[in-house]
């Protein structure tokens, strides 16, 4: 965690200093800093996925569900990252479009899980009624 905070502080101070000289470089420094923080997150996330896999096998959850949840989380974080970078660069139209695409992608990834939930609920209702 300390490394992430240090990267964020150095990137922020450098971007603020550069903003008065060249705004374009400040945006690039902000983007590069965000990428470094994102890479640090990815390296830390590998241990978490192993733990989640063990929990899924222990509780009988299908690995496909874990894969779907991780995929949705990845889309959400990457979309948020892109929206923030676009917004910082002053490209609000691009940020809005990217946000909409991210929401649609999350919805499309979640549909199999929603169908499974509906099927499970319907079968439970049939068993209770029968």
Nearest to 5 by CA among 29, 32, 30, 40: 40
Half-sphere CA count of 41, side-chain side, radius 13 A: 13
d(CA 64, CA 128): 27
CA angle 76, 78, 83 (to 5 degrees): 95
Domain range annotation of the chain: 1-47, 62-130
Summarize pLDDT for 20-52 with one digit per residue, the tens.
888 888 888 988 998 888 888 777 777 777 787
Which tokens is 15 given? 């971007």
Summarize pLDDT for 49-64 with one digit per residue, the tens.
778 788 888 888 887 8
Nearest to 41 by CA among 83, 85, 8: 8
Summarize pLDDT for 60-111 with one digit per residue, the tens.
888 788 888 888 988 998 899 889 888 887 889 999 999 999 999 999 999 9
Q: What is the pLDDT of residue 112?
A: 84
Which tokens is 51 given? 């733990």
Contact assessment for residue 37 and residue 8, using Cβ atoms and an 8 Å cutoff: yes
pTM of the model: 0.66
Q: What is the pLDDT of residue 107?
A: 93
Q: What is the pLDDT of residue 86?
A: 86
């Amino acid at each position: 965690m300390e490394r992430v905070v240090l990267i964020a502080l150095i990137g922020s101070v450098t971007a603020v200093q550069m903003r008065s000289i060249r705004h374009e470089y400040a945006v690039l420094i902000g983007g590069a800093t965000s990428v470094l923080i994102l890479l640090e997150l990815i390296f830390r996330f590998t241990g978490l996925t192993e733990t989640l896999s063990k929990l899924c096998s222990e509780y009988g959850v299908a690995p496909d569900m874990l894969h779907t949840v991780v995929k949705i989380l990845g889309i959400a974080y990457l979309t948020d990252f892109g929206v923030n970078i676009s917004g910082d660069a002053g490209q609000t139209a691009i940020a809005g479009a990217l946000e909409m695409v991210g929401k649609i992608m999350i919805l499309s990834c979640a549909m199999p899980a929603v169908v499974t939930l509906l099927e499970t609920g319907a079968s439970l209702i049939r068993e209770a009624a029968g």
